[in-house]
Amino acid sequence: MCQVLSDTKAEKLSSHYDMAEMYKNRHRFFGIVVVLVTAIVGTSVFASLGKSPESWIQIFTGFLSIAAVVLSSLQTFLGFSEYQSQHKASAAGYGSCRRDLELLIMKFPEATGKSGEAGTMELELIKKSLDDLDKASPTIPDKIWASYANEKNI
C-alpha cells in the first residue's frame, strides 16, 4: 500500500516541478520580449528627437509602444511567476510526503495498513497530509498530465 502511494505522489511531485519550470520559462520569455520591445521603442524615440521621421516610422514606433504596454500587462495578468511558486510549493509538499512514506516503509516494511497495525496511524497522518496537499495544489492540465503519463509510462 505504501509503495503505491509513494509512486503516485512521486509522479505528482515530478509533474509539479515540471509545471513550475514551464511557468518560469513563460515568465522569462514574456519578460525578454517586453524588454526588447521597450528598448526598441526607447531607441526609436531618441533617434527621432530633433528630426521629423517618416510617417511609417512614427506608426511603427506607436505600434511597438502599444505592444510593450500590452505585453507587460499580459505578463502581470497571466501570473506565470505566481503559478510557478504554487507548483513549486506543491512539489516540495509532495516531496516531503514521499520522504515520510519512505521512512515509514523502512520502519514498518511488513505493514499492510490494516487497522491497529504498527505504522497504520502514521500512514493515516501522511494520507491526510496528501489529501490536504491535493486540495491546495494547482491543477495540472489534462493535456500536460496525459503527455507526462505517456512519457513516464504511467
**pLDDT tens sequence across 28-77:** 998 898 888 888 887 777 777 667 778 887 788 788 888 888 888 888 88
Closest to 96 measured CA to CA, from 1, 6, 19, 20:
6
Backbone φ, ψ for residue 17 (5° rounding): -65, -40
What is the DSSP annotation of 27-51?
Answer: HHHHHHHHHHHHHHHHHHHHHHTTS
Q: Span 64-93, mean pLDDT?
A: 88
**Which pLDDT score, from 0 to 100, does residue 131 have?**
92
**Which pLDDT score, from 0 to 100, does residue 154 have?**
62
Look over the chain and give the mean of its residue pLDDT values, rounded to a whole number. 83
**pLDDT tens sequence across 99-117:** 998 899 899 888 887 888 8
Q: 1 pLDDT exceeds 60?
A: no
Closest to 31 measured CA to CA, from 98, 87, 97, 81:
81
Helices (H) and strands (E) in the chain, counts: 5, 0
The strand ranges marked E within 1-154 are none
Q: Any idea how long the chain is?
A: 154
Class of residue 102 by CB neighbours under 10 A (exposed 0-12, middle 13-18, buried 19+) = middle
Q: Calculate helix-pair angle for 2-48, 55-78, nearest 10 degrees.
A: 160
Which sign, positive or negative, has the C-alpha torsion 21, 22, 27, 33?
Answer: positive
Where do we find the cell 530633433?
Answer: 50
